[in-house]
Structure 1
Amino acid sequence: MFAVLALLPGTASALSIMDPFNLPAAMDGGTSKVGDGIAYADGTRHKLDVYAPEQRGAPAPVVFFIYGGGWNRGERSDYQFVGRALASRGFVTVIADYRLVPEVVYPGFLEDSANALRWVQDNIANYGGDPNRLFLAGHSAGAYNAVMLALDPSFLKEYGVTMPILGVAALSGPYDFYPFEYDEVRTTFGSAPNPQGTQPINLITADSPPMYLATGTTDPIVRMQNTERFADRLRAQGVWVTTQYYDGFGHMEPVIAMGAAWRWRMPVLEDMVSFFQRFGAFPSGVPYVAVAPEAPEMLPEAIAPMEQIVSQLNSMFQPIED
């Protein structure tokens, strides 16, 4: 891993364990970062980046991606590979920072994302995006945030967000983890006046948007049964839900596999885009065929330690639910 990090430009800047996934050779070409560090409100944690296809014509669908990190860590710069992956499939993609625990607890991080969505509503057309074709996506704690924004209208209403949410793609997310058994969630949610109201599984209505829920079958942080229970409740309310269970993978692998370096491990990006297409991302009517790339015969030296890095990333998380 250290050999990979040594290849990165700007050695004076802080290094991140996610850096190898954001090497130029490990990201999708034909894409551009068209917005860098744009302020959507005052404060250092209130900035966002925008990614788009280099070749742009008609306004493109928009994905607002929320990264995870147990609500107490994470940086938008760690997920450049996600922004470029979605941009390579024709989406204008927004990744926003939000305040973290202990600076805020629930619902502060949700309020920040709602505020960032107001920026998207007001400004994304200037970057080639169509605000009427908005999808939310997220991983881990970010999957929780994305689902909550879609299920609890009070957050968007507070910031005057009226854009329709056409669908939500959630990876490795916790949706049903009350009572709060672990310190990480107890610190984040324990002071909520209505703790059961913090749980997405309790907020589903027949008007909830379609959802794509994906998880690794061996995730020790948020067990796959969490996704199963949430999906069952969605279906019981008549909400469209697509589930994908990636056999033998853990907590970080689904989001890592969105990037070009690990995409051959599972078709999560193609599955997600296929879901978005089903619900109006590209109104041409042409079906999107999800195809998993073949495994490379020989991994480039720059990505050889990926297995080690993913294992270390998984070890950084504490369990969220039993």
Structure 2
Amino acid sequence: MKLPRQIDLLNLFAPRYGTEVTRDVAYGPAPYHRLDIYRPAQAGRRALPVVIFFYGGSWQSGARGDYRFVGAALARLGLIVAVPDYRLYPDVRYPDFLHDAALATAWVIGQIGDYGGDARSVFVAGHSAGAYLALMLALDGSYLTGAGSDRGVLAGAIGLAGPYDFLPITGAVYRRIFGGAADLIRTQPIAHVDGDAPPTLLLSGARDRLVAPANTASLAARLRAAGASVDTRIYPGVGHIRLLLATLPPLSLGTPVLGDIARFISGVMATRAIADPVGRRPDMAGRDNPG
């Protein structure tokens, strides 16, 4: 008898109320170009903000069906949530998974209106390697341009425990994944920061031993120096996986990941609704916040 995986148990006990899901939606021509879309069960007629959530797994593992608990949790915040698959190592290497992420994002921007989403309010988000994908799309416009879209359309970016500044690459498998790049510096999200970056929320756990919280601090500092809007949260006593599990109601006490995401999105939407008279994005963390 095959024993259930831990993530299967998480999905089994995750709340099922209040959401609907459309599975196996094609966003591109390849068999792996599929995504699931989560919606509030009582969405009404108003178009809702959209989150595209990229899962982690060190660019080597993961499947969209494993993250039903995340998609449903975000949908219960009143969001439309797309969870795409993307190709993984060893089948592909950098930057192929980024091209998949860009293709999925471009599809969502173009088609999410059919599912109740507002194409003008699309946020890219992810955990771990998925946060890398989200921030690369938000900071390096070439990927969305190549997919027929524009990073300027993005309303914001949300990174949970992401590797944004991880040179030199020391692990053998990561050298194989990224070693073919003509310029390793360009593989890093932090290398693409400019003042046109969309509003960004960076979340990390202070006890993360897999992706050091220094990644969050260094990217936040670079964004602020460029004049971009960035907010950070580093949760005491929280590790790499616990940060993601905090999206489950029983594990959210003391780690308000969902609340911080909801407040960030609400703040961005409110700022977009009330035009800044001088055309500058506010720094939601404050210029002197060290991240």
1:182 corresponds to? 171
Measure the CA separation in 1 of the matches of 2:6 and 2:172. 24
Measure the CA separation in 2 of the matches of 1:238 and 1:146. 20
Q: CA deviation at 1:134?
A: 0.6
Q: CA deviation at 1:15?
A: 4.1
Measure the CA separation in 2 of the matches of 1:244 and 1:60. 25
Per-residue deviation, residues 29-71 of structure 1 (Å, max 9, x unmatched): 21111x2011112333211000000112211110000000000
Which of 150, 157, 166 in structure 2 is aligned with 1:168? 157
AA aligned to 2:32 is: R
Q: CA deviation at 1:282?
A: 9.8
1:134 to 1:281, Cα distance in 2 relative to 1, 3 A: farther
2:14 corresponds to? 26
Measure the CA separation in 2 of the matches of 1:41 and 1:157. 16
Which of 88, 108, 116 in structure 2 is aligned with 1:100? 88
1:87 corresponds to? 75
TM-score of the pair, normalised by structure 1? 0.81
1:144 corresponds to? 132
- Mapping 1:48-87, distance limit 5 Å: 48-57=35-44, 58-87=46-75
Question: 3-state SS of the aligned residue for 1:227?
Answer: helix
For structure 2, which runs of at least 5 residues remain unmatched after alignment? 275-291
Q: CA deviation at 1:155?
A: 0.6
Are 1:238 and 2:227 counterparts?
Answer: yes
Measure the CA separation in 1 of the matches of 2:221 and 2:271. 28
Per-residue deviation, residues 70-129 of structure 1 (Å, max 9, x unmatched): 000001011101111111011000000000001111110010011111221222111100
Are 1:37 and 2:24 counterparts?
Answer: yes
Q: CA deviation at 1:18?
A: 0.7
- Paired residues of 1:52 and 1:93 also in contact (CA < 8 A): yes
1:307 corresponds to? none
1:283 to 1:239, Cα distance in 2 relative to 1, 3 A: closer
TM-score of the pair, normalised by structure 2? 0.89
2:241 corresponds to? 252
Per-residue deviation, residues 236-272 of structure 1 (Å, max 9, x unmatched): 1111111111101111111111123422241001101
Measure the CA separation in 1 of the matches of 2:265 and 2:256. 14
Are 1:126 and 2:114 counterparts?
Answer: yes
Percent of matched pairs sharing the same residue = 43
Are 1:191 and 2:218 counterparts?
Answer: no
- Paired residues of 2:49 and 2:117 also in contact (CA < 8 A): yes
For structure 1, which runs of at least 5 residues remain unmatched after alignment? 1-10, 286-322
- Paired residues of 1:63 and 1:91 also in contact (CA < 8 A): yes
Measure the CA separation in 2 of the matches of 1:233 and 1:43. 36
Measure the CA separation in 2 of the matches of 1:17 and 1:241. 34
Q: CA deviation at 1:222?
A: 1.0
Measure the CA separation in 2 of the matches of 1:117 and 1:203. 19
AA aligned to 1:111 is: H
Are 1:206 and 2:195 counterparts?
Answer: yes
My pick for the range that moved more, 252-261 or 131-140, is: 252-261
Moved over 3 A (4+): 281-285
Measure the CA separation in 1 of the matches of 2:252 and 2:212. 22
AA aligned to 2:82 is: V
Aligned length, in residue pairs: 272
Measure the CA separation in 2 of the matches of 1:179 and 1:59. 44
2:204 corresponds to? 215
Measure the CA separation in 2 of the matches of 1:229 and 1:56. 38
Measure the CA separation in 2 of the matches of 1:276 and 1:263. 19
